[in-house]
Amino acid sequence: MLSPKKTKFRKQFKGRIHGSAKGNYTLNYGSFGLKALEPERVTSRQIEAARKAITRYLKRAGRMWIRIFPDVPVSKKPAEVRMGKGKGSIEFWACRVKPGRIMFEVDGVELNDARKAMTLAAAKLPIKCKFVVRNI
C-alpha cells in the first residue's frame, strides 16, 4: 500500500476539505479517467483496492496512472481509553480529495472496457465519482 517514505512531522491536524480542486482536474496522461464529485479522505487501502479492480478487469492491458497519493497521517486512540495523555498513534495514511480531482487515468483500452473498469473502481471508493473522457 502507498505511504510516504519520510515526512517532516509525524502527526497532523485533521483539517477540513474546503472548495473544489485547484489543480489536477483535467486528464493529463490517459484518454479516460475517474473524477471525484465529493470532498472526502481516501485511504491507501481504498486506493489499492480500486487499483486492483482496474488492473484485474483490464487484464493488465493498456496503461494506468494513479493521480492521488496518501500523504496525510490519520491517528486513532485505542478503544476505551480515557481522555488526555496525548494524541493517538498513526493508524493509516489518507489523501484529501476535493471535488473535481482526477484520481485514476487509463489509456490504450476500449471505451466500454475503461468505463466498466472505472465503475468497478468507483465502487471501492467512499465518494461519488464520474467517468470522464478526453475531448478529441
pLDDT tens digit sequence for 55-102? 999 998 999 999 999 999 999 999 999 999 999 999 999 999 999 999
Here the cell at position 21 is: 480542486
pLDDT at 136 over 90: no
98-127 pLDDT, tens digit each: 999 999 999 999 999 999 999 999 999 999
Smallest CA-to-CA distance from 76 within 67, 65, 87 is with 87
Q: What's the pLDDT score for residue 135?
A: 83
In this prediction, residue 21 has a pLDDT band, given cuts at 50, 70 and 90, of very high
Report domain extents, the chain: 41-69+96-133
3-state class (DSSP) for residue 77: coil
Contact (CB, 8 A) for 38 and 99:
yes
The region that residue 59 occupies, defined by phi over 0 for left and psi between -120 and 50 for alpha, beta otherwise, is left
Mean pLDDT of all residues in 1-19: 95
Residue 52 has pLDDT above 90, yes or no: yes
pLDDT number for residue 60: 87
Nearest 5°: phi and psi at 54? -65, -50
pTM: 0.94
Q: 41-69+96-133 belongs to which homologous superfamily?
A: Ribosomal protein L16/L10 (3.90.1170.10)
Residue 23: the pLDDT is 94
